[in-house]
Amino acid sequence: MMRGAEARHPLWDLPVRLSHWVITLCLPAAWWTAEEGLLELHAWIGYTVLTLVLARLAWGVCGSPQARFGDFLRGPRAILAYLREGRRETPGHNPLGGWSAMALWALLLAQAVSGLYNSDGILFDGPLYAAVDGDLADKLGAFHETAFNVLLAFVGLHVATIAVYQWGRKQQLLVPMIRGSAPGREGTGPAAPLARWLFLLDLVALALLAILAAAPEPVSSWW
Ligand code: HEM
Ligand code: HEM
């Protein structure tokens, strides 16, 4: 690094990148474990997604500059200005990208939470399966199946959009999501401390485990 050069800040800090790529790996793993009937493992993959998304949402309030909702959630006027003139005020998500990230997080949450109420009807009950009546649990189970297809469609759209920006419009999207930044795409301020994110992650994981541990035990239908 050049002495005296201005400090460079990452566009996407480590928590943003790590959460993104771990969630990306979790989706095929969740599908595969469900197909193979490895539902204990499937559930742990789901808890991982749930924890990472909730911690990412908390990071939207107290994370690094471009990770914050205030940086990328914009109203209709900014969205229109972006669509008409390509105008954007942050090197982070553009006004459409910000809302599509919110949609992806909402879908991931819906998927993981509905899984908690799901059951294969034989060997595995989600930890909240017994907390609601059978009818509702069945509906949430069906929702869990449908939500995955909707999630896949959105992820397909997400990856296609990234490809258009990256190769069609020659904008650097992939490198910053891997290495943190790229020439011309840097953050506007110092990254928030990693310890803060680790603390949030622990807090979310512990809260989730406490809620699940307090859930009523399933009553076995075998005796
Ligand atoms: C498979 C599941 C995937 C999900 C659920 C997902 C979701 C997301 C979300 C929520 C964001 C916003 C990140 C944040 O602010 O924390 C994001 C950004 C991004 N994703 Fe994905 N993603 C997936 C797969 C992929 C894949 C396969 C690629 C590679 C082609 C990719 C490339 C990117 C890039 C480059 C960004 C940054 C966009 C920007 O610069 O504004 N994603 N993704
Ligand atoms: C984002 C996280 C998750 C994803 C992407 C996911 C995805 C899937 C998929 C694709 C299936 C197969 C659907 C079908 O064809 O029936 C499935 C089934 C299932 N999931 Fe998840 N899931 C997630 C989280 C969870 C969680 C947290 C739990 C419970 C703790 C759970 C419990 C189940 C159960 C019990 C089934 C089996 C249903 C059956 O065999 O009829 N899932 N999940």
Pocket test for ligand 2, best of 108, 118, 132, 155 (most atoms within 8 A of CB): 118
Q: And the tokens for 24?
A: 């990306």
Q: Which CATH class is domain 14-214?
A: mainly alpha
Q: What's phi and psi for 44, nearest 5 deg?
A: -65, -35
Helix (H, G, I), strand (E, B) or coil at 63: coil
Q: What's the whole-model pTM score?
A: 0.94
pLDDT-wise least confident of 43-47, 152-156, 182-186? 182-186
What pLDDT does residue 4 have? 39
What pLDDT does residue 184 have? 87
- Residue 62 pLDDT class (50, 70, 90 cuts): very high
Other CB atoms within a 10 A radius of the CB of residue 67 amount to 26
- Give whole-number Cα distances, 17 to 21, 86, 132, 171, in Å: 6, 25, 36, 18
What pLDDT does residue 223 have? 45
Instruction: Please write the tens of the pLDDT for every residue from 84-121.
Output: 998 888 999 999 999 999 999 999 999 999 999 999 98
Separation between Cα atoms, residue 175 and residue 177, nearest integer Å: 5
- Residue 8 pLDDT class (50, 70, 90 cuts): confident
Separation between Cα atoms, residue 213 and residue 128, nearest integer Å: 10
Helix (H, G, I), strand (E, B) or coil at 185: strand
Separation between Cα atoms, residue 121 and residue 118, nearest integer Å: 9
* Ligand 1 contact, 20 CB (< 6 A): yes
Does residue 1 have a pLDDT over 60? no
Q: And the tokens for 109?
A: 């949450």
Separation between Cα atoms, residue 56 and residue 24, nearest integer Å: 14
Measured from CB, residues less than 6 Å from any atom of ligand 2 are 27, 30-31, 34, 39, 42-43, 46-47, 49, 108, 111-112, 115-116, 118-120, 124, 126-127, 144-145, 148
Give the contacts of 133 (CB within 8 A, at least 6 positions apart). none
Instruction: Please write the tens of the pLDDT for every residue from 129-162.
Output: 999 999 999 999 999 999 999 999 999 999 999 9
Does residue 197 have a pLDDT over 80? yes
Domain ranges for the chain: 14-214
